[in-house]
Structure 1
């Protein structure tokens, strides 16, 4: 219960806003005009679009260094003060407490920040006293909000001082419409004096104009009926009607921007499934706090979609590309490679149409990486400007110019990704992909006497003069507790397989490049890990345990089309699905090595699969010829060595990063290094296509 605090300056701005809205009739999604900025594109930053895309947040905090505005569908707009403004969606919440002590409210909010019940802290004024109102939510249903009451009560018990958290909802009563904010505030004051929760609301319905006052925050129709009787009995001359699904902005003041000190900002609660507002940006851009504090060009459209807040950045296409190109590739790359990415990204964006209903694209790699102004760079901007308007066309239509980071030396054929083919995408040589390895460390694949194998980076290794009887080199390390990694890559979230000290000699199995976008190693994966990650991703049953795993069918570029476990195919809808099904592999251009098994070619030409426990006459880790140690070393006819352990796990050795279809970004970089221009590179990766300036 209470009335939003407003400074005189903010009150004046709201009055200006009221006049502008009355002129325009309502606040709606504008009929956007391209103006001098050219074609606009809509980028979803937050939205709940079901299986198509889901990235949600309970709050959207926008910030501008300069004066900005809320804009209506017409030419009218109203300025807002610099700083922050917050938006939330109306719905079921838990009202945790109401107190005159900011420290108490802030302490409770801090406790809740670390929980699943995210806090909202408002400041309000009632009968000359400042109050702080703490809520959590939203929750999808009243039942979920009721469950949250128990959690909240337990988490913030020390600050509640006997108050009981209660469920609130979006069932409200309307007092009618008013032509000015002042009229609405006068009605609100009467209701507050009578002891009822009431807030001024900016109406967004096309059939309504101006302001109203909404009373209550009931969670059910029965509760609303009871409230109606109480209000009409206590406040003479007020006629109330249910708000229903009316669209509006509930105007409040947010006190939760900094819980260490009171720092208020306007807070708009958006109500009604059709409610939409446009926040118009300035030259300095709009910061979105919940999107990693990134700053964006253009405008921000805030709405409610499927019950959740949605945020769409409406930005000129060419300026959108300034960010996309800078996010997708390195700005240090040759200018021709940057131009390649600019034309491909422009073509991809324009081909999407209304794929995401409220937006053309999203800001993740589901579409194209987009980080706002944070990923812009002068070199990238120059490349975009140099190719302004240029798109890739085939058959008179703009091409969906898909691309991936690295094709691993050979781009994918559509049949390896989508189970189909066409004349535009085919597998072509992509030798420039190897440029991803330039300047990277070499790693030693080593075997310890304990039977453990792993990788040590070259700058931690010192070669010794002794060798095994089979001629394999040995090394030691140069520092105490040197990590032996499971793959040739430092992974901060993965524990080393062992630590060794100087003087401890280990056998060198191989020297390999550090895992990168071109060549990589992943694993080791146990049977249990693979069974878990395969669940739900295959169209047939997954075995309860995996003893053998191999690629049994490959496509034109060598990518896996069929993987077999225990002799039975693991069928998937699309070949590219194997990437996620097998633990998040960079690409499907891979081989599989079972660490506990190996194949022997007999004199009769037959291949026999053996395991490390079968006592085959192979060289041991110590080089003595014994087969009884924890791990064996098997050597191929060409002198390649690998360890065979007693327990079976699986290593994936592959090339490329991404689906591999269409443009290879690293391949384009490699070709640009060799002197090819951007149009030649594009035509190499997109067959039977032309580059056209639209």
Structure 2
């Protein structure tokens, strides 16, 4: 074991095990009328023709659960003509939509001139797909369990905040990545089953269990990202992140690319980018953009949106303009940096650190609770 890893383990022992969590008996949803065991996942919006497939029979039911149509293996439907919600169920093991197979049922809901296509799936089965979509299924089992608890807590929190909306989550990184049954893996399925119903709570409520790929050595305080402080998401050292293949990175953008990316700012041709201030985590707070028409100081989070996450993987970076007019960027970490670092969790799990200890390191002062289903 090298010196850096020894220091990382020592820091974890000092700062992690001193704040071990406890398992609380149960957490029950405050709205007993809401079925909380199923997740509503937005798959897309309906067009004039949508095709659904299965390995048996698809039944179409109206709002009163009356069967209005049956189809064997393939169903073609025009959602734009719907005036009321319908739902699709299959006698087989899945419903296929746009090449992906989904558990549960499909609902088509017309709202304000649009038709939302929604997969309604039992929560634990939803997680069967989410966990391997977010992290490699080959990772150590304690890291997979940590991700399962994070993902479950995250969707519960989304369900609480979106209870009056048509859906709870979508299939992208805007919420959590969800790719249906084709992404499922026995390793991650076991991780979900081993932690069944387990979520993280703070003062009795499910937490905002934010996670990201790699913190670059230190997680970020959410007040520096979204403007709101969250006690249990305080910044922590994460030296284990050095194990990650995206711990450090660099990239180059041509002058033409930079002009194109930053054209919405209306500054003319970009002459330079200068870091104006940094947070304690060393992530950039504000950056000055110098153009031929004018200059502007913006937040690094805004710059990341303009350049894209593939070019500016995190806001822990440095940038300079080269003599040839290109812009050289070098940084640490990947993602917003708040909450659990997935690569940090991976390396901790490799050192046989329990998933509860991993979670209690990144989320300070939280408890574990078992969900009570309706």
Bin the TM-score by the shorter chain. 0.7 to 0.9
Equivalent position of 1:321 in the other structure: 127
Equivalent position of 2:5 in the other structure: none
Q: Report the secondary structure of 1:566's partner residue.
A: strand
Equivalent position of 2:304 in the other structure: 579
Equivalent position of 1:520 in the other structure: 249
Give the Å deviation of 1:58.
Answer: 4.3
Q: Report the secondary structure of 1:548's partner residue.
A: strand
Q: Structure 1 pair 57/678, CA: closer, same or farther in 2 (3 Å)?
A: farther
Q: Structure 1 pair 375/410, CA: closer, same or farther in 2 (3 Å)?
A: same
Deviations 1:428-452 (A, max 9, x none): 1122222223xxxxxxxxxxxxxxx
Q: Report the secondary structure of 1:428's partner residue.
A: coil
1:650 paired to 2:327:
yes
Equivalent of 2:94, from 269, 285, 300?
A: 285
Equivalent of 1:350, from 149, 152, 156?
A: 156
Deviations 1:398-424 (A, max 9, x none): 012111111111111213211232212
Q: CA RMSD in A?
A: 2.3
Equivalent position of 1:405 in the other structure: 213
| Contact kept in structure 1, 2:287 and 2:300, CA below 8 Å | no
Equivalent of 2:82, from 260, 271, 274?
A: 271
| Contact kept in structure 2, 1:281 and 1:297, CA below 8 Å | no
Q: For residues 370 and 92 of structure 2, what CA distance do their matches in structure 1 show? A: 28
Q: Structure 1 pair 583/319, CA: closer, same or farther in 2 (3 Å)?
A: closer
| Contact kept in structure 1, 2:56 and 2:90, CA below 8 Å | no
Equivalent position of 1:547 in the other structure: 271
1:436 paired to 2:244:
yes
Q: How does 1:408-419 map to 2 (within 5 A)?
A: 408-419=216-227
Q: For residues 251 and 135 of structure 2, what CA distance do their matches in structure 1 show? A: 24
Q: For residues 366 and 62 of structure 1, what CA distance do their matches in structure 2 show? A: 25
Give the Å deviation of 1:33.
Answer: 9.3
Q: Structure 1 pair 83/656, CA: closer, same or farther in 2 (3 Å)?
A: same
Q: For residues 571 and 564 of structure 1, what CA distance do their matches in structure 2 show? A: 4
Give the Å deviation of 1:388.
Answer: 0.6
Equivalent position of 1:498 in the other structure: none
Q: For residues 422 and 575 of structure 1, what CA distance do their matches in structure 2 show? A: 20
Give the Å deviation of 1:57.
Answer: 4.3
Give the Å deviation of 1:535.
Answer: 3.6
| Contact kept in structure 2, 1:591 and 1:652, CA below 8 Å | yes
Equivalent position of 2:321 in the other structure: 594
Give the Å deviation of 1:283.
Answer: 4.2
Give the Å deviation of 1:569.
Answer: 6.7
Q: Report the secondary structure of 2:215's partner residue.
A: coil
| Contact kept in structure 2, 1:46 and 1:57, CA below 8 Å | no
Equivalent position of 2:50 in the other structure: 60
Q: For residues 344 and 92 of structure 2, what CA distance do their matches in structure 1 show? A: 36
Q: For residues 269 and 349 of structure 2, what CA distance do their matches in structure 1 show? A: 47
Equivalent position of 2:106 in the other structure: 300
Q: Structure 1 pair 306/76, CA: closer, same or farther in 2 (3 Å)?
A: closer
Q: For residues 420 and 86 of structure 1, what CA distance do their matches in structure 2 show? A: 46
Q: For residues 561 and 685 of structure 1, what CA distance do their matches in structure 2 show? A: 22
Q: For residues 556 and 58 of structure 1, what CA distance do their matches in structure 2 show? A: 52
* More helix, by proportion: 2
1:422 paired to 2:240:
no
Q: For residues 684 and 410 of structure 1, what CA distance do their matches in structure 2 show? A: 12
| Contact kept in structure 1, 2:50 and 2:79, CA below 8 Å | no
Q: How does 1:99-138 map to 2 (within 5 A)?
A: none
| Contact kept in structure 2, 1:413 and 1:556, CA below 8 Å | no
Q: Report the secondary structure of 2:147's partner residue.
A: helix
Q: For residues 427 and 570 of structure 1, what CA distance do their matches in structure 2 show? A: 29
Stretch of structure 1 that moved more, 69-78 or 403-412: 69-78
Q: For residues 128 and 238 of structure 2, what CA distance do their matches in structure 1 show? A: 26
Q: For residues 223 and 300 of structure 2, what CA distance do their matches in structure 1 show? A: 8
Deviations 1:114-172 (A, max 9, x none): xxxxxxxxxxxxxxxxxxxxxxxxxxxxxxxxxxxxxxxxxxxxxxxxxxxxxxxxxxx
| Contact kept in structure 1, 2:133 and 2:183, CA below 8 Å | yes
1:46 paired to 2:61:
no
Equivalent position of 1:556 in the other structure: 280
Q: Structure 1 pair 351/562, CA: closer, same or farther in 2 (3 Å)?
A: same
Q: Report the secondary structure of 1:362's partner residue.
A: coil
| Contact kept in structure 2, 1:416 and 1:575, CA below 8 Å | no
Q: For residues 566 and 278 of structure 1, what CA distance do their matches in structure 2 show? A: 54
Gaps of 5+ in 2: 1-32
Equivalent of 2:139, from 321, 324, 333?
A: 333
| Contact kept in structure 2, 1:524 and 1:651, CA below 8 Å | yes
Q: Report the secondary structure of 1:418's partner residue.
A: coil
* TM-score normalised by L of structure 2: 0.83
Deviations 1:429-479 (A, max 9, x none): 122222223xxxxxxxxxxxxxxxxxxxxxxxxxxxxxxxxxxxxxxxxxx
Q: Report the secondary structure of 2:244's partner residue.
A: helix
Deviations 1:497-528 (A, max 9, x none): xxxxxxxxxxxxxxxxxxxx2211122331x4
1:81 paired to 2:92:
no
Q: For residues 570 and 688 of structure 1, what CA distance do their matches in structure 2 show? A: 40
| Contact kept in structure 2, 1:551 and 1:564, CA below 8 Å | yes
Gaps of 5+ in 1: 1-31, 48-55, 91-269, 438-516, 597-646
Equivalent position of 2:192 in the other structure: 384
Give the Å deviation of 1:658.
Answer: 1.1
